[in-house]
Amino acid sequence: MFQGLVLSLAFVAVAGLTLGVYAWLLERRRLALLRDVHAEESHSLPSAEEVMILGGMTPAIAGHSPIGESKRPAIQQELREAGFYHKNALTEFQAIRAVLVFSPFVVAALLGLAARREDIPRIAMSGTMLAVLGFSIPRLFIHYRARVRARQIERGLPIAVDLLNLGLTGGQNLGASLALVSKELRNAYPVLADELTILREHAELSSFSRALQQFAERTNVPDVRTLAMVLTQSERLGADLSAGLLEYSSNLRTTLRHRAETQANRANFWMLFPTILCLWVPAVIVLFGPVYHDFWSRRQETSQLLNQSRNDLKKANSPTAAATEP
């Protein structure tokens, strides 16, 4: 009965989660189609960012997972680094963490009602551990996503700088060059293409130096900060942007080459562990296994012979054997 209840609750949870995700995806698709069909009335339609991940219950659920004022800027910066730019990103983060924290307690309480008395401490401990994991998993996911995005930006930045330099050399202005670069990088480096599109739109609204500063703060990638500094100084001093980009591209490729060499040298060290586990241990077993097996077999044979000789001597020296002699 207990196993059947666990399977039933697991089925209901998985089915509910699947249906919720499917309904959310359908709603986003419906809104996207409405914006495409009624482009002229898009200001009256809710955007995809305004449709929260848990619907209208998102703010209420997020209230059960408060964040201190001291930690709020750090989490918002992490969300921006992970690519969550919409205004409800922090609210959705709090709501998801609240669901992941309280769901294990609810499931553990339901299981505890139908479990035996001796199983209740184990169920409570499991629910507590899952709640701790639910509290940590959203932040870990954000860190992982931010690291992946930073790696993609670093890999595509030299190509973007070269294409931007080609556009400026060909006579285009900076905005047209950024639009062309983002279009060309859309398939290979979509993350960098989106960031360059945001950079161009910010530059059109304010100034290019301010857009570069926001680009560097938003991504928090050292190479982007260096690029922003180079372009800002070139624009402020009236220097040639093409020459500055060419020099920066060369230095960036040299830096990436040094990073690759460092990772290769680090890989040699980490390869020692699988080499020891997968090569040396089997080699030791193959070389010394037969010797040890032969030694152990001979030891057992010798022990059996000694025991047999000891028994023969005991029988020969026993009073019964002496009395039977003529």
pLDDT in tens, 260-301: 888 888 877 778 777 777 877 787 788 888 887 788 888 888
> Is pLDDT above 70 for 138?
yes
Comparing CA positions, the residue from 160, 168, 166 lying closest to residue 186 is 160
User: DSSP of 7-43, one letter per residue?
Assistant: HHHHHHHHHHHHHHHHHHHHHHHHHHHHHHHTGGGGG
> Is pLDDT above 80 for 179?
yes
Average per-residue pLDDT for the chain: 77
| pLDDT of res. 48 | 45
**Ranges of each domain in the chain:** 2-146, 150-268
| pLDDT of res. 277 | 76
Q: What is the pLDDT of residues 54-88, one digit of tens each?
A: 666 677 777 767 777 788 888 888 888 888 887 88
Average pLDDT over residues 135-154: 89
| pLDDT of res. 252 | 81
* Strand, helix or coil for residue 146: helix
| pLDDT of res. 154 | 86
pLDDT band at 180 (very low <50, low <70, confident <90, very high): confident
Contact criterion met (CB below 8 Å) for 196 and 183: no
Average pLDDT over residues 110-123: 80
pTM to 2 decimal places:
0.66
Residue 298 burial (10 A CB sphere; 0-12, 13-18, 19+): exposed
CA distance 210 to 43: 27
